[in-house]
A and B are shown apart, each in its own frame.
Chain A
Amino acid sequence: MAATESTIDPMHQFQIDSLAGPLGSPFAFTNSALWMMIVLGAILVFMLGGMKRELVPGRWQVAVEGVTGFISSMIDTNIGPEGRRYLPWVFTVFIFVLFANLMGMMPFGVIPGVHPFTVTSHFTVTGVLAVISFSIVLIVGFWKHGFHFFSLFIPHGTPKPLLPLIFLIELLSFLVRPFSLALRLFVAMIAGHILVKVFGSFVVSGLNSEGLLGPGVALLSFVFIAGVSALELLVCTIQAYVFALLTSLYINDAVNLH
């Protein structure tokens, strides 16, 4: 029993392996890079399939227009007419995160030797996305408002004695934004995958054990995995939506101040 348990390591699925070039050098082609390219290919196929501009849209075009319309209406309600300028970035981040999350959940593992890799389960990837969003906020804020941008940190009607304290708190909550944005996505992905993997190991060790209890536990765990996988698909889309929503809200702060 101990031997089978030690072979199933729930963290192994997040390991970065080099496919070409030495691991650790900046030119190594890793499995993360490979899956990013697969994700980009899937996005390309999805978008190009629906961009034929037919007068009577088919199913595919309706699907693509649903996604683009969803993001553009989110931008319109959150930022206003000026927000159209930031639509490309918000849409990019939404569809990349959505496809990366969903590709990580796909059961490619049924093909021997293939293992899906969730690109967004690494803090470096989500961190870069969050830092780009945060830089857009900073650049746009200082470009449009100059040093008046600092008034973002002072809510209207703050009593004078409280000003330094409120300023500090608001500044801190502003600076922690890219961190929380990146952390939320990557931890949500990691947590779901670990949960599925741990219950998968229950199935394996339950089937390997003697007696009636083992297969019963295995069956229960298997049913649980099916439910958790459905929940994870929901979490994948919610996390992509939340990332795009918070990005647009932060950009709204920079564009319109308060």
Chain B
Amino acid sequence: MDFASAQVIGAGLAAIGVGAAATGVGNVFGSFLQGALRNPAAADGQQGRLFIGFAAAELLGLIAFAVAMIILYAR
């Protein structure tokens, strides 16, 4: 396998992590909505925690994206 095709395949494999992070972000917001609908009065106080969870889940997807870009544009 030559370098260019290995590069593209590697970048594609690294991009799987972005999809996994999408599951994570969806899980964060979905769980928040589930809890918020059961106790709407407490929902507003937890919005900070919601975004902390979102930030943590999103960061890993962004790292996967950065790794894919580094692989794709490596010389």
Chain A residues packing against B (C-beta within 8 Å): 11, 74, 77-78, 180, 183-184, 187-188, 190-191, 194, 238, 241-242, 245-246, 249
Contacts and interface: CB of A to CB of B under 8 A. Distances in A.
A73 B58 CA distance: 25
Contacts of A188: 58, 62
Contact of B65 (A11, A180, A191, A249): A191
The interface size bin for chain B is 10 to 19
Contacts of B69: 190, 194
A77 B49 CA distance: 12
A180 B57 CA distance: 12
Interface string B44-75: 00001001101100110011011001000100
Contact of A78 (B48, B58, B59): B48
Interface of B: 48, 51-52, 54-55, 58-59, 62-63, 65-66, 69, 73
Contact of B59 (A184, A194, A241): A184
A8 B18 CA distance: 24
B59 A77 contact: no
Nearest to A248: B48
Most chain B CB inside 10 Å of its own CB: which residue of A78, A184, A187, A194: A187
Contact of A183 (B51, B54, B62): B62
Contacts of A246: 52, 55
Nearest to A78: B48
A124 to B, nearest CB: 15
B59 A245 contact: no
